[in-house]
Structure 1
């Protein structure tokens, strides 16, 4: 099903990206799509979306109202279009695909780094520089702490995952010893 949702979302993300045009408009759309994704992911909103008692117009008005300042006229019309085409559930995937396309256009790569404990500023800077060299692009890092990896790093850059965690190393060692 996950692949299906991306198949549904891709044309919408592409159309919004093409329509946005310049960096300022892309930033506005980025904020709007992130807000829409968060709204759609909310359990209470999901219940309203699934209710046959709520009209499309009422649902659109509610979502646009929740989006507040992040939604201008175009974004409100986009929400209505998604509802009309029964694609509102694809909003998080649309936002993700839009961001990937935006990052590629800006020659930027969004990278998530997971570590057992927070990295120092010096470590973050060295990691940023190394990843920019490796990928030949500007790198935008976000950091997540997860003590279950014990040590090391897990780096996610698009489809690429580099798992240098101690947990993964122990699992590989266990697998080799079991042979």
Structure 2
């Protein structure tokens, strides 16, 4: 994974810098998301491994993307095809998304709870995280009944495990040591 990230980082950084300069960060995020989905398509995957010449692959990829990718996006795809890097497009999109969130002072928080959270609970969690992280927080909530009760919140490097199963695991580790 580190190798893919290392390969993808310069493309993501260049795309983000260009998008920022042209005040088109959101449109670039959409373009990269679409191109990443195309690269993960089961029909396209085998072609990315070198079955076609780079210029043919770039033309095919751009035709598949159609109007979803503008001229500058097509140029990025051509460069990536020439360097045999189209298969790292999902990582480029992910890194671009992280750069965008950092620039916008936003963070995505994943909240896993034992039961469905109501709107008031989500608002309280969001407000507490915004205060703690000094960023705008977007919550992605899901339910995992195996937690028994409580929540696990993940926001970037921050992990808050307030679940009963997590507490039982920590108690078990303490008793064993």
Secondary structure of 1:21's aligned partner:
helix
Instruction: Give the match for residue 105 of structure 2.
Output: 107
- Structure 1 segments (4+ residues) deviating >4 Å: none
User: In the alignment, does 2:156 pair up with 1:158?
Assistant: yes
Whole-Å Cα distance in 1 between the matches of residues 115 and 5 of structure 2? 33
Give per-residue Cα distances to partners, 1:121-147, cap 9 Å, x unaligned.
111111111110001111122223333
1:1-179 paired onto structure 2 within 5 Å? 2-21=1-20, 25-50=24-49, 52=51, 54-179=52-177
Mark the runs of 5 or more structure 2 residues left unpaired by the alignment: none
Whole-Å Cα distance in 2 between the matches of residues 125 and 43 of structure 1? 39
Contact 1:28 1:70 in 2 (8 A): no
Q: TM-score, normalised by structure 1?
A: 0.86
Q: Indicate the larger mover: 133-142 or 32-41.
A: 32-41
Whole-Å Cα distance in 1 between the matches of residues 146 and 46 of structure 2? 33
Mark the runs of 5 or more structure 1 residues left unpaired by the alignment: none
Whole-Å Cα distance in 2 between the matches of residues 171 and 42 of structure 1? 40
Whole-Å Cα distance in 2 between the matches of residues 117 and 68 of structure 1? 43
Please state how far the C-alpha of 1:24 moved relative to its aligned partner: 5.1
User: For residues 132 and 61 of structure 1, do their structure 2 counterparts lie closer, same or farther at Cα, with a shift above 3 Å needed?
Assistant: same
Whole-Å Cα distance in 1 between the matches of residues 61 and 148 of structure 2? 41
Q: TM-score, normalised by structure 2?
A: 0.87
Whole-Å Cα distance in 2 between the matches of residues 71 and 136 of structure 1? 34
Give the CA RMSD over aligned residues: 2.1
Q: Indicate the larger mover: 139-148 or 12-21.
A: 139-148
